Amino acid sequence: MEKVELYGLTMPLIEKGADVAKLIVNEARRLGIGIEDGDVIVITSKFLQKAVGDVIDLRAVRPSFKAKVIGKIFKKDPVEAEVVLRNCRKVLLAVPMDFLKEYVGKISRNVRDGLKALEKVKCILVVVTKNGFIATDAGVDYSNLPRGYAVANDLDFDLEAERIRRKVREITGKDVAVVVSDTEFTVSNGKFGSVDVAVGSSGIEPLTRLFGGRDLFGEPKFGGLDIVVDEICSAAALLMGQCSEGIPVVIIRGLKYAPSAKGVKDILITKYGRRASRLLLKITLINVIAKILKII
């Protein structure tokens, strides 16, 4: 019988300059689980950003003309629009959120609070971030931060994961993998919601790369491309939660994985430039055509 164990680490409110690796090792020791060879340490991106001081003071943000135009047309806060624009390469789509009002009773346990949340976010911009991720609002997040502050998906999270992995090895002598997670909205098989995905990793092969591998009947499979680091983040999210749980770190033990020096940015399609842009355009056009056919 094989098993995988997950341990959630409750951490104190992080401050700029904090030693993340040391905090994780100390908390693991306090809980009596320690750090072992082969562990996968999953850390939320926001926890890391707070530690390095990568936090945006919204009071210092002055909306550009483009941000003001977006705000006027799509009823999006111009300051929020400006933060998104500063942290992306390209805006792909603008998605108004009004359509969610009729479903708020299904997606929120508290309809009143759900409607308040929708009032704050009238529109979401789907963009290619500076890091090459396709994300909503460039990963800008305001939750679990003091009022008037935000974080965006702008760090080299692969590099941060590598630094933490090396520091953990220095402290404990153990070889681990580190994965940095973030939450992203998705529409999958007709389901609308959020999942946790990897924005950085070190010490683990991000992708199985088994496309064309033989299935049980010896036939080449059209598939086999498991994004292992995303699956890890989704598993960790079961403990982390999205609101006030206060568990920004999860240790996964017993998982078999291939060690690798590659990071998440090594498997991004956007790294291929124009070809990726054309692919994204095709996907967008297919979605538009599908909606037109549905209407017809």
For the segment 24-35, what is each residue's pLDDT rounded down to a tens digit? 999 999 999 999
How is residue 160 written in tokens?
């941060």
pLDDT at 6 over 50: yes
pLDDT at 281 over 60: no
The enclosing domain of 195 has a CATH number of 3.30.1330.100
pLDDT tens-digit series, residues 180-216: 999 887 766 667 778 899 999 999 999 987 777 777 7
Please indicate, yes or no, whether residues 165 and 260 belong to a single structural domain of this protein: yes
Residue 223 or residue 262, greater confidence: 262
Q: Which of 126, 154, 182 is the C-terminal boundary of a domain?
A: 154
Please indicate, yes or no, whether residues 47 and 161 belong to a single structural domain of this protein: yes
Would you list the DSSP string of the chain?
----EEEEE--PPP-TT--HHHHHHHHHHHTT----TT-EEEEEHHHHHHHHT--EEGGG----HHHHHHHHHH---HHHHHHHHHTEEEEEEEEE-GGGGGGHHHH-SSHHHHHHHHHH-SEEEEEEETTS-EEEGGG-B-TTS-TTEEB-S-S-HHHHHHHHHHHHHHHH----EEEEEEEEEEEETTEEEEEEEEEEEESS-SB---TT-B-TTSPBPS----BHHHHHHHHHHHHH-SSS----EEEEES------S--GGGG-GGGGTHHHHHHHHHHHHHHHHHHHHHH-
pLDDT at 273 over 60: no
Please indicate, yes or no, whether residues 163 and 260 belong to a single structural domain of this protein: yes
The enclosing domain of 74 has a CATH number of 3.90.1660.10
296: confidence class by pLDDT, cuts 50, 70, 90: very low
Q: Which of 104, 121, 154 is the C-terminal boundary of a domain?
A: 154
Q: Which of 100, 128, 154 is the C-terminal boundary of a domain?
A: 154
Please indicate, yes or no, whether residues 29 and 60 belong to a single structural domain of this protein: no
User: Is 276 within a domain?
Assistant: no
Q: What is the mean pLDDT of the chain?
A: 85
pLDDT at 245 over 70: no
Give the per-residue pLDDT at 23. 95
Please indicate, yes or no, whether residues 45 and 85 belong to a single structural domain of this protein: no
Give the per-residue pLDDT at 254. 96
Please indicate, yes or no, whether residues 161 and 48 belong to a single structural domain of this protein: yes
How many angstroms separate the CA atoms of 130 and 87, rounded?
6
How is residue 231 written in tokens?
């699956």
User: Is 168 within a domain?
Assistant: yes
Percent of the chain with pLDDT over 70: 88
User: Is 150 within a domain?
Assistant: yes
Please indicate, yes or no, whether residues 124 and 239 belong to a single structural domain of this protein: no
User: Is 161 within a domain?
Assistant: yes
CA dihedral (273, 125, 182, 89) positive or negative = positive
User: Is 271 within a domain?
Assistant: no
In the beta sheet, which residues pair with residue 181?
44, 198
Please indicate, yes or no, whether residues 79 and 111 belong to a single structural domain of this protein: yes
The answer for 182, left when phi > 0, alpha when psi is -120 to 50, beta otherwise, is beta
Dihedral, CA of residue 191, residue 153, residue 233 and residue 282, to nearest 10: 40
Tally of domains in the chain: 2
User: Is 253 within a domain?
Assistant: yes
User: Is 285 within a domain?
Assistant: no
Give the per-residue pLDDT at 278. 59
Give the per-residue pLDDT at 256. 94
The range of the structural domain enclosing residue 139 comes to 55-154
User: Is 2 within a domain?
Assistant: yes
How many angstroms separate the CA atoms of 149 and 73, rounded?
25
- Whole-prediction pTM value? 0.85
pLDDT tens-digit series, residues 79-124: 999 999 999 988 888 888 887 788 888 878 888 888 888 888 888 8
For range 41-56, the mean pLDDT: 92
Percent of the chain with pLDDT over 90: 46
For range 278-293, the mean pLDDT: 56
Please indicate, yes or no, whether residues 176 and 36 belong to a single structural domain of this protein: yes
For range 162-191, the mean pLDDT: 90
Please indicate, yes or no, whether residues 46 and 184 belong to a single structural domain of this protein: yes
Please indicate, yes or no, whether residues 142 and 184 belong to a single structural domain of this protein: no
How is residue 32 written in tokens?
């009596």
